[in-house]
Every structure is written in structure tokens, then in C-alpha cells.
Homo-oligomer: A and B are copies of this chain.
Amino acid sequence: MARPREFDEEKILLLAVERFWEHGYEATSIRDLAQAIGLTTASIYNAFGDKHAFYRKALDFYVERSFGDRVGRFETKPPREAIGAFFNEIIERSLSDTKRKGCMLVNSALEVAPHDDEFQRVVAQVLVRVEAFFRRCVERGQKDGSINRCQKASDMAGTLLGTLLGIRVLARTRPERDLLEGLIRPVFALLEPQSQSYNLIS
């Protein structure tokens, strides 16, 4: 038919994610991207549309990489463990994030979603997915007795989602292990079947 592409779309998206993730939407120019990726701006426009569409594709790519498999992976574990492993991974990730990129979804939630209905929907949808994952974990745990039944599963799922988002914000300016590990302790205690009798101080 015609001249074939000289690049691998997946590799391009990986590099695009990297830059959008680190600098955000506004502070990343098409020329930045072109140089980092090794393409001309014309090729980017030809292959991905305009900047808005390119960011959208990068974000989708990021989301699928970050949540797609992860949620499934954790969901096979016992509920308490699943939640614990999820948070531990987030904390380790946050602490080893030397470039302070944070979470691209959270970044998008604050930078682009509030002024753009499309991104608003996309981000909200992912947050709903994460919340649903937490709720399923809590419900399973409450059924098998490994998670405290004092709180409604939906409330607990919200708390876990809020805590997750809080960690991602906090770690961006204060990536301190003590702080992050300390703040999840009470939340985990909340899940513990008889948490109030454990962790007693003095």
C-alpha cells in the first residue's frame, strides 16, 4: 500500500507517558515530546491526532498498565492481604519515585479533569474501578470474617480510596517512610476483626 511506519506505537506511548507523567499536560510541549521520542511533530500529529488526543492515549495506556493487571493480581489473594499488599506496593513505589512523578491519574485528576469533561469522565471511571476493587475486597473479608464488620463495606472502600489518594499527594512533597507507614496503620487497624484490643499503647 504505502510507506510503513518506522516506529513501534507501544514504545512511543511509553516515552510519551514518561514525559506527560513527569511534567504534566501544560508543561509538556509537542516539541519536547517529539525530541524525547525521536519523532517529528508531523509524525505525532499524523499518528495520534492533536495534543489533547495524544495525552488521552498516553493516559489510557498508563491506566491499563497500572490498574489493568494489578487489580486482577491482587484479587486472587485473601482480602486483607490484597488490601495490605496494594498499599505496601503504593508506598514502596512512592518512596522510590526519585523524580516525584506521583501517580499520573491523580495528576490528571487535578490538572486536566476539572476543566475537561472527557478527562473528568475518564478519571472518575478509574476511581470508581479502584473503589469497586476495595469494596469487593472488604465484602469478601467481612463474609469470611477476616475483616471487621463494624463499618459498611462501601464506607470502608471510600476510606481506602481516600487514603490511597492522600498517600499519593502526600508522598509528592513529603516522601517519608515513617509518615506513610504510620498513616496506614490506623486504617489497617480498622479492618482488623478486633482491632481495638490490639495496638494498645501503654
Distance from A189 Cβ to chain B, minimum over Cβ atoms (Å): 6
User: Inside 8 A of A196's CB, which chain B residues have their CB?
Assistant: 148, 150, 194-196
B183 in contact with A158 (CB, 8 Å): yes
Chain A interface residue count, CB cutoff 8 Å, equals 61
B167 in contact with A162 (CB, 8 Å): yes
B107 in contact with A173 (CB, 8 Å): no
* CB of A187 within 8 Å of the partner chain: yes
Chain B residue nearest in CB terms to A191: B186
Extra 19 A-B pairs, beta carbons < 8 Å, given A149-B201, A164-B166: A24-B111, A26-B27, A101-B114, A102-B110, A109-B172, A113-B172, A148-B196, A150-B196, A150-B198, A151-B185, A151-B201, A159-B183, A162-B167, A162-B183, A165-B166, A186-B190, A194-B196, A195-B196, A196-B196
